Amino acid sequence: MRASTMFAMTLALLSGLGAVVAARYAGWLGKAEAPKEKEITVLAAARNLFPGDLIDASYVKTRPLKPEEREAYEKDKTSFLPAVPAVVSLRVAAKPVEADALLRRQDLQEMMKPDPLNMRLLPNMRAVNISVPKEQSAGGLIQEGEWVDVFLTTSITAGERETTSTAPLATALRVIAKRNALWRVLAPLPDNKPVNFTIEANPYRAALIEFGKSKGNLTLVPLSASEQKSLEERRTKLLAVGNDKLLPVSFGPLAPVEMAEEEARIDSFTRGDAPVGTADLVRIYGLSTPPPPSDPVMIERFNGLSRSATMRFTSDGQFVGLLDPKKDIRAASNTTLKSQMDLSAFQFCIPGCGTANSSCKSCKKK
């Protein structure tokens, strides 16, 4: 190859490279695209979260990281929760979180199971479950940790007379669980279904509430905020003492005499000497039983040494009849008295069932 040919080829190559460089700077070949940043998926709130809310997977969502969030994310990646919805299941919000905000670890309480039921009870107290409709529990809005009074509305029958009355079975009781769950569930209550509450009460009041379930309709009435604050402070002090011998009879305002009477009832019940029954409802409703009938007047007639007849009179002198001389007078008198006492016994049942309603299970129980 001749030198002139080599020179021509070299010149052509340099000219071509120069043209390409000039075209690139002139923009004829287009601008080079910047490399795209890798898309990062993060976990965010799907709805507003409030402190104390129990969260599940439906409360969160995954979405791409926004450009304005990248700097904070890159600075402390470990503080953000992984983009897996199941990671928040059975977790509790520790602070308010707005919808669509990124979820950090410090937004949730420490991951642990709730306290079991026995850890929520004071020493010597009992847990009793009450299942009532929403309209008998302030619309079902009573929450765990609130204080309530328990009322019983019952139909009282004495002889042919029937009345309906309401009285408190127990006052100043604390709700230690709701919905038969240890977790605090934040979800709408279904209509036409009862709401379950677990209440802390002393042994006697717990048994009284159980007895009252078959005698009428129970109602939970929440106390005011000021009353609940005072009761909660008193309970917290007792819980801090940690004395198993401590017996908190009642947190309500009881006089010394009433406190002593309540202690006696608890002691008698726990020993098995005094089971809860109709007599307790008679006392709570302030019912008065009629006085026992006077002993009948007996006049015995003898023929010689043999008793021929026994005449019976009422206390006002009216003749009742003759008794068989072969029967014991005292036995006849006791039988008459017992039958009269049975007729005056009180009967408690669910309002509206009626005394003649033989299908009512409550009315069959005295």
Nearest-5° Cα angle at 228, 222 to 232: 130
> pLDDT at position 207, please?
96
Range 107-113 contact pairs with CB under 8 angstroms and sequence separation of 24 or more = 107/49, 108/55, 108/81, 113/182
Residue with tokens 């795209």: 36
Same domain for 67 and 185?
no
DSSP conformation letters of 112-161: -PPPPGGGGSPTT-EEEEEEE-GGGTGGGT--TT-EEEEEEEEEEEETTE
Q: Print the domain residue range for 308.
A: 297-343
Show Cβ contacts of residue 265 under 8 Å, excluding neighbours closer than 6 positions.
Answer: 204, 274
Run of H or E including 343 = helix 329-343
> pLDDT at position 138, please?
95
Q: What are 340-359's pLDDT values in tens digits?
A: 434 346 788 888 775 545 55
DSSP 18: H
d(CA 361, CA 26): 99
**Residues found in the chain:** 366
d(CA 117, CA 126): 10
The answer to whether residues 147 and 224 touch, using CB atoms and an 8 Å cutoff, is no
> pLDDT at position 123, please?
86
Same domain for 101 and 159?
no
Same domain for 181 and 73?
no
Q: What are 149-164's pLDDT values in tens digits?
A: 999 999 998 877 889 9
In-domain check, residue 4:
no
Same domain for 59 and 196?
no
Same domain for 102 and 125?
no
Least confident of 11-15, 153-157, 163-167: 11-15
Nearest of 50, 33, 124 to residue 92 by alpha carbon: 50
d(CA 276, CA 212): 10
Number of domains present in the structure of the chain: 3
On the question of pLDDT at 246 being above 80, the answer is no
> pLDDT at position 342, please?
40
Least confident of 27-36, 50-59, 94-103, 133-142: 27-36
In-domain check, residue 357:
no
d(CA 85, CA 83): 6
Q: Tell me if residue 327 falls in helix, strand or coil.
A: coil
Least confident of 162-171, 196-205, 288-297: 288-297
Nearest of 268, 154, 292 to residue 211 by alpha carbon: 154
Residue with tokens 């001749």: 2
Last residue of a domain, one of 85, 107, 129: 107
Same domain for 149 and 197?
yes
Same domain for 244 and 183?
yes
Summary mean pLDDT of the chain: 82
Split at pLDDT 50, 70, 90, the class of 105 is very high
In-domain check, residue 225:
yes
Same domain for 73 and 154?
no
Q: What are 17-69's pLDDT values in tens digits?
A: 666 666 666 655 555 565 667 889 999 999 999 998 889 899 999 999 999 99
Same domain for 330 and 181?
no
Run of H or E including 166 = strand 161-178
CATH of the domain at 91: 3.90.1210
> pLDDT at position 186, please?
77
In-domain check, residue 24:
no
Same domain for 228 and 266?
yes
Split at pLDDT 50, 70, 90, the class of 7 is low
